[in-house]
């Protein structure tokens, strides 16, 4: 039988007694929901306040977004680095790689679009007059 420490997410350590007693781990999901709501509310507050240093707001929002992803991965998707979750971690890493490739190549294509575009009508008329 597998060791409990490796079969469950770190957030589920407190849910061991619940699952052995027949509970469904609702407490863990409630904690995850509470943390997700707090992080979301903090993100909205940071974006709409004038109390914070303006150039630091973007960095703060990125940090809050990463924390939000961590909460969802651990509390809701139960992604851990345990031996039994190797396939989950590899699938997550592959998904992140694909997303980064798609976003990066899209940005690269969009930055080079202006070199392949037609001339503006004013420049086209000037070119035709010559």
Q: For residue range 36-75, list pLDDT tens digits in order.
A: 999 999 999 999 998 889 889 999 999 999 999 999 988 8
Q: Mark whether 14 and 76 lie in a shared domain.
A: yes
Question: 58, 80, 102 — which closes off a domain?
Answer: 80
Q: What is the predicted pLDDT for the residue at 130? A: 73
Closest CA to 13 of 109, 82, 63, 70: 82
User: Is the same domain home to 76 and 91?
Assistant: no
Asked if 53 and 111 sit in the same domain, the reply is no
- Could you tell me the pLDDT band of residue 13, with boundaries at 50, 70 and 90? low
101 and 126, same structural domain? yes
- Determine the pLDDT at residue 22: 41
Reported pTM? 0.60
| Same domain, yes or no: 23 and 39 | yes
Asked if 12 and 66 sit in the same domain, the reply is: yes
| 98 and 63 both lie in a single domain | no
Give the position of tokens 């007693």: 21
Both 68 and 92 in a single domain? Answer: no
pLDDT for 8 equals 61
22 and 72 in a single domain? The answer is: yes
| Same domain (yes/no): 71, 92 | no
| Count of the separate structural domains present in the chain | 2
The range of the structural domain enclosing residue 36 comes to 1-80
Are 65 and 13 in a shared domain?
A: yes
Domain boundary among 80, 96, 118: 80
Same domain for 71 and 104? no
Nearest one of 82, 79, 77, 39 to 60, comparing CA atoms: 39
């Amino acid at each position: 039988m597998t060791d409990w420490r490796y079969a469950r997410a770190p957030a589920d350590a407190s849910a061991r007694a619940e699952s052995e007693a027949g509970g469904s781990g609702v407490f863990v999901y409630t904690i995850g929901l509470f943390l997700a709501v707090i992080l979301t509310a903090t993100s909205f507050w940071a974006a709409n306040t004038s109390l914070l240093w303006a150039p630091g707001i973007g960095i703060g929002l990125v940090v809050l977004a990463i924390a939000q992803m961590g909460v969802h991965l651990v509390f809701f998707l139960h992604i851990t680095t345990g031996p039994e979750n190797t396939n989950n971690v590899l699938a997550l890493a592959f998904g992140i790689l694909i997303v980064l490739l798609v976003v990066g190549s899209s940005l690269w294509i969009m930055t080079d679009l202006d070199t392949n575009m037609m001339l503006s009508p004013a420049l086209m008329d000037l070119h035709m007059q010559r």
